[in-house]
Chain A
């Protein structure tokens, strides 16, 4: 049963954005046969574009669907996203400009490029690249899942292949304009996407809260409803959840800018000060996300009963907003999937092209071959994600992404410590990474892919974020082996970076 008013608004906005994407190549033109032009927009995005790009990149459709769904399902523990984002930006404020500078001065496109030169280690660079690529794949798949959820809410659910047509159409459009324009395409689309999201969320929160009788009423209704569930939940955080809450916030904050798509967004800025100003301004999106999280509670108060938690936001919109505005909101979310999916595929392509293709397959490739490979890889990555989404139950995509989140944190020592010191030995970092990966994988696999692992320390059981526990293991191994290898005289290789490469140019960016 198709919701025509919602669908028509949705279709118009979606078509508009698709056309816009195709004009992306002309935006601040550059030679798209060069990888840094295609893959990093030529490092030319100023304050405003960067804000839209990184905002659109980090706050994905899946985020907007999954966070309220988690709140609906779990109550207070799901709100770790608030302290998580409050911590993430200060961390990035400190290190991201420094990374931008070294990347600009030495021509890096990826974090793995940095690992290669700083530590003179191809293997370290390879593991960073592979980890990064692996994390992008499920994340892209989940964006397509976000589109599916919205399509379903529009009433376009057929069966078999008919059901999949909208997602395939979305994918084809996305693939086409990304292929041509590279990072410029999602940058342009991000402006529209973010504008739509802000309008939707601000208007929706005002309307829905008013309809539900104000915040006080919402909270007073939700509390008892949560407590009355088969698996009781609460508005306040139960003390036994404290360690999980804190470790989830800290670990996620540390991992956020390790993701290739975050790095790509950062590196496309035109200067380190653009990044600093954005770290001050990007928290605005987090406030938005906080409000969206509250939608989970509003859904409970409004009596929304979705068949699957991911349907919470769409069902809430359909129930509480005029149909055309629901369509508007759905378009915002669907477009909100395209921007990060595009950037993620570009980020994965950058990693593969620079750190696998150029490193191992064709070291003397021309610019054209390099950018051509990247374009092809980004297409393949998106295609792979599409096949995954259509063929594999959503459950697996979600679990894979959770695991990947645990993995990406293991690259933190190599990259972040490497920006400031060479104390850590390259072989130690490599083995430490391996240890972290193994611990993370074992913990997730042993816990049905729940991110919070109950660690048994003697008589105590401390539930904590598995990724952070794995990081701790990683760090311990890395430190111990650094000391051991130095004692044994294992070669450290030569640092190809110079101190002056880390210094910012005197002219303000």
Chain B
């Protein structure tokens, strides 16, 4: 804003920065009957933008006042009023009913959630416990890092894989044709992985 109140404070596009202030001053003066302050009045005289704005304010303000009065009269009509002890009582009863309904719905949802959790818990823990007797070192959901075999069993697996402790612990889902003797020693290892039904 410039220091000279009579100069136009131009924005980009040619409007004046004081338009809002000019409008407000004119509208307030019209409402209260008090004169506009000298600085603003002087600026409005000098600035074409603000003169236009003041003119619009003078025309719009009475319409706005009339509309405000009309709305006040509409809002004060007794037909659609909520006032009264009886209506307050009704509103409170309505809210109580809504709260009861909401509580009942939440209780049902919680019951379903608890039942589903119990079923899941059963499937995860008890479901796996029915398997045949396994090596205590067998990896499980509780201890997935447990090693499937110890060093002794590893050695026995290389020599006689079909009769090793590992082979007896693994549930058999199917057999893979073993390569004939004479192939590499490591080829005898991979059949353990393919026939194991778990994740290891």
Is chain B a partner of chain A in the same complex? no
Chain B residues within 8 Å of A, Cβ to Cβ: none
Chain A residues within 8 Å of B, Cβ to Cβ: none
